[in-house]
Amino acid sequence: MKRRVVSVLSVLPLAVLLAGCGGSSNDASPTATGATTGATSGAASGAASGAASPSASATAAATFNPCDSLSAAKISQALGEKLTISKGTAATPRCALLPAKKNGPTFVMSYLFFDGGLDAAWKTLTDKPAGTVTEPEVPGADAAKLVVQRKKSGYVVSAFLQNGSLIQSLNGVALPPYDAKGMARATTEILAQLSAGAPAS
């Protein structure tokens, strides 16, 4: 099967996301930028072994940002805490939901275009996130995987969403004392919004 790979599928380590929980001030900016860079060199390495070719997906990737379809107000309402959207810059784009208060929950989103589908992309991950894996139904999506870790040290969630050849990823973390139900509601809301905003591919 011919594969096309554009951008990245991120699986961020806990330490990276924990560093991003410092609030939406300038001190959080390097963290999200670093997270995007780490994702670029990390989890898509297996998928990138497929032949990439110029396509409509490449054109979409040049302008697409998962955050374009997100409503911080609705996600904040689901979470129970205020979040703000950070898209980075034109030179260094990113997609993150940063906490308004110090040590609040943080979410980082990324994506790739991959013709093999979510199951094939999942198999390429050399460092799969630990936790309980489920496959929730998300309106408009072809497939989804959700991985949740609930520990005393924090709540960590990774999710992967397929719409056509577009695969979007979400990674979130909340420090203790955390609201597990709030994190679950926020994750569900983010996935629904990501799916609704997915471009045709």
**pLDDT tens per residue across span 32-87:** 333 333 333 333 334 433 333 445 555 555 689 999 999 999 999 999 999 999 99
**pLDDT score, position 61:** 56
Please indicate whether residue 4 or residue 151 has the higher confidence score (pLDDT): 151
- 55-76 per-residue burial string, b: 16 or more CB within 10 A, e: under 16: eebeebbeebbbbebbebeebb
**pLDDT score, position 23:** 54
What does 61-85 look like in DSSP terms, one character per residue? HHH--GGGG--HHHHHHHHTS-EEE
- Judge whether 75 and 189 are in contact, CB under 8 Å: yes
**pLDDT score, position 201:** 74
Q: What are phi and psi of 130, to 5 degrees?
A: -80, 150
**pLDDT score, position 128:** 87
Q: Is the pLDDT of residue 137 over 90?
A: yes
Alpha-carbon span 102 to 119, nearest angstrom:
36
If you average pLDDT over every residue of the chain, what do you get? 79
**Residue 159 structure tokens:** 């999710």
Alpha-carbon span 66 to 43, nearest angstrom:
18
Q: pTM for this structure?
A: 0.75
In the chain the domains, ranked by start, together with CATH numbers, are 6-196 (3.40.1000)
In the chain, % helix, strand, coil (3-state, to 5) comes to 35, 25, 40
What does 23-43 look like in DSSP terms, one character per residue? -SSGGGHHHHHHHHHHHHHTT
**pLDDT score, position 69:** 94
**pLDDT score, position 125:** 85
**pLDDT score, position 60:** 55
Which of 19-33, 48-62, 96-110, 111-125 has the least mean pLDDT? 19-33
Average pLDDT estimate for 147-171: 96
Average pLDDT estimate for 81-103: 95
Q: Is the pLDDT of residue 153 over 90?
A: yes
**Residue 96 structure tokens:** 């993150």
Cis link prior to 93 (omega < 30° from 0)? Answer: no
Unique residue bearing structure tokens 């784009």: 93
